Amino acid sequence: MNSIDDVFVTKRGRRCVLIQGYKLSENKQLKDRTFHFRCTNRKCNVTAIIGEKLDLIISQKNDHNHPATSENILNRQKIMYTLKRKAIDDVFTKPNKIIRKVLKDQSTVNISHSDASTSCKSLNEVVQMLNKQLN
């Protein structure tokens, strides 16, 4: 049985789980309090029932018809999430400072050169978002 490697929240506030490099997003909560998740690839039919605490895969249907999400994209989303959380926890620190600190902490994240411009753009978006939230 596969295990849940990570749980995080997307920019839009949607909860996601990472299972073997595949990202599934929350669809709905079922009557027994478990959650129905589906693959974030719209052409893919994989769905999974995840336990109430998002720590257990109860069942999974179908097979992915596409390669797993690249590490870099996932890392970037994790950085975003960390940034957002830190900004909420630490309202007295300027967003730019928080971003620098988070990026320093995430020194293991290996963003390739071609990827760097994309992440810069995304980070700028985060800065703007944080500024909006904090003002």
Q: Give the range of 26-34, 45-53, 93-101, 115-123 binding Zn ion by CB under 5 A.
A: 45-53
Query: Is position 24 an interface residue for Zn ion (rule: CB under 5 A)?
Result: no
Give least dist CB 11 to Zn ion, A: 20
The token pair at 125 is 């978006």
| Cα atoms found within 13 Å of the Cα of residue 41, Cβ hemisphere only | 16
Kindly indicate which of the ranges 12-20, 25-33, 58-66, 94-102 contains the residues binding Zn ion, using the contact rule CB under 5 A.
Answer: 58-66
> Closer CB to Zn ion, residue 17 or residue 46?
46
Q: Does 69 bind Zn ion (CB under 5 A)?
A: no
Residue 90 phi, psi dihedral angles, 5° rounding: -125, 70
Q: State in angstroms the smallest separation of the CB of 25 from Zn ion.
A: 11
Which residues have CB under 8 Å from 39's CB, separation 6+? 22, 23, 24, 45, 46, 47, 64
The residues pairing with 6 across neighbouring beta strands, listed in sequence order, are 18
Residue 109 to residue 114: CA distance in whole angstroms:
14
CB of 68 to Zn ion, least distance (A): 9
Q: Which residues bind Zn ion (CB under 5 A)?
A: 39, 41, 44, 46, 64
